[in-house]
């Protein structure tokens, strides 16, 4: 078994859908948010805590695990599930985004990418075949084709050459892929150019994959251009297979995505912002480091049922963050992930009930109000 995807309901007004994605390590209700566990750990959280707040699948980073501790070591210790003590599904990216983000340290050829390790400067090489081999050693349920993630802005000619290279690499990944218990997803590129997005989607689908990822967005482009690209994807990717929007995941993005047929999201946003004291609540954004919370006895959110909100005050959370205590990062991360996972659960329910537009208005209005308050003169 690799994966099986079934659509369980559709909102005819918005185009959003719910589904069940079955993998060798369990079923996933979609749309789903996947917490990012870059180095085989979701920062500050144990696997038991993640499961308790509703995480169904986590993402791990091929590039970082390839560098340290090494994919062969992880394979010899039973694979990523055993290594990180996570028994539910795992998705690994291809390492492409990280390699191409090292623009001053890499050299792109048709064969692959030569680059210098950011750890020790060693000369390394990553190709489609190597990326697949590393991911097979890691043993995730869903793995990704090696692709070139183009920066923004980039010329039409550059993005076209990059998209063509990504298709060639996808074909090589498919030939190299041997494990029958893993699903290999193709990745669509094309930048913000609708014609290249359409071409890349059609070419990737023609190769035949069990699922399709939308790459190269949320890399600095205006929101309007991202939405145009998602519209093109919605029109050109098969509706019967799962769609994964890579690296995109604010509450606003969830609504934009699901209305365009997206089933899977991941983003470091909730964990990274939590460690900086920026917290998502049903009442809007809260910067817990602000002095106004120094003596505030209330919970972070009185409408949240997470462990943090049930047990700790805003004053205590601010104290921990200002004192750089490890517990502060744990409690804020717990809250943010609980919020993101709970919001996605509410989105699934709203799609089934036909109330997605109402939920979108409720959630985003809270963020607009909190933003307006922060911008008032004298504050």
What's the whole-number average pLDDT of the chain?
95
Q: What is the pLDDT, as a whole number, of residue 138?
A: 98
What are the residue ranges of helices labelled H in the chain? 47-52, 62-67, 71-76, 80-84, 96-101, 128-138, 156-176, 194-207, 223-236, 251-258, 269-275, 307-311, 314-322, 326-353, 356-374
Q: Higher confidence at residue 80 or residue 104?
A: 80
pTM of the model as a whole: 0.96
| Residue 181 known to be catalytic | no
Select which of 71, 93, 253, 263 is catalytic: 93
Q: What is the pLDDT of residues 138-175, one digit of tens each?
A: 999 999 999 999 889 999 999 999 999 999 999 999 99
Q: Where are the domains of the chain?
A: 4-267, 276-374
The C-alpha atoms of residue 342 and residue 346 are separated, in whole angstroms, by 6
| Residue 71 known to be catalytic | no
% of the chain surpassing 90 pLDDT: 89
Q: What is the CATH number of domain 4-267?
A: 3.20.20.105
Mean pLDDT of 73-98: 96
Sheet harboring 142-144: ordered strands across?
32-34, 264-266, 243-245, 212-214, 183-188, 142-144, 90-92, 58-60, 36-37
Q: What is the pLDDT, as a whole number, of residue 79?
A: 98
Select which of 71, 141, 147, 266 is catalytic: 266
Lowest mean pLDDT among 27-41, 80-94, 114-128: 114-128
Mean pLDDT of 98-122: 85
Q: What is the pLDDT, as a whole number, of residue 373?
A: 58
Do the Cβ atoms of 165 and 148 come closer than 8 Å?
A: yes
Q: What is the pLDDT of residues 7-16, one digit of tens each?
A: 999 998 999 9
């Amino acid at each position: 078994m690799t994966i099986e995807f079934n659509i369980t309901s559709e909102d005819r007004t918005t185009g959003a859908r719910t589904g069940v994605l079955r993998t060798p390590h369990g079923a996933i209700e979609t749309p789903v948010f996947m917490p990012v566990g870059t180095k085989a750990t979701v920062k500050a959280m144990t696997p038991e805590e993640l499961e308790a707040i509703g995480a169904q699948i986590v993402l791990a980073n091929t590039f970082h695990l390839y560098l340290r501790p090494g994919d062969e070591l992880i394979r010899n210790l039973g694979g990523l599930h055993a290594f990180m003590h996570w028994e539910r599904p795992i998705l690994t990216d291809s390492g492409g985004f990280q390699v191409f983000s090292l623009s001053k340290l890499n050299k792109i050829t048709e064969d692959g990418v030569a680059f210098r390790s950011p750890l020790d400067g060693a000369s390394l090489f990553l190709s489609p075949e190597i990326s697949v081999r590393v991911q097979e050693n890691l043993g995730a349920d869903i793995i990704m084709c090696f692709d070139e993630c183009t920066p923004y802005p980039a010329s039409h000619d550059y993005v076209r050459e990059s998209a063509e290279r990504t298709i060639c690499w996808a074909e090589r990944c498919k030939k190299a892929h041997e494990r029958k218990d893993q699903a290999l997803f193709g990745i669509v590129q094309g930048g913000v150019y609708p014609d290249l997005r359409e071409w890349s989607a059609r070419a990737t689908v023609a190769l035949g994959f069990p699922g399709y990822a939308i790459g190269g967005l949320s890399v600095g482009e205006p929101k309007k251009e991202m939405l145009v690209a998602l519209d093109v994807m919605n029109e050109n990717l098969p509706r019967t297979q799962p769609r994964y929007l890579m690296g995109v995941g604010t509450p606003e993005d969830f609504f934009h995505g699901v209305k365009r047929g997206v089933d899977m999201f991941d983003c470091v946003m909730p964990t990274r912002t939590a460690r900086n004291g920026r917290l998502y609540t049903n009442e809007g954004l809260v910067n817990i480091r602000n002095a106004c919370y120094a003596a505030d006895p209330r919970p972070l959110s009185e409408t949240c049922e997470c462990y943090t909100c049930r047990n700790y005050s805003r004053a205590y959370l601010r104290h921990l963050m200002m004192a750089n205590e490890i517990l502060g990062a744990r409690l804020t991360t717990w809250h943010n992930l609980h919020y993101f996972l709970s919001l996605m659960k509410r989105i699934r329910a709203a799609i089934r009930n036909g109330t997605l537009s109402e939920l979108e208005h409720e959630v985003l209005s809270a963020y607009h109000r909190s933003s307006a308050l922060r911008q008032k003169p004298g504050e």
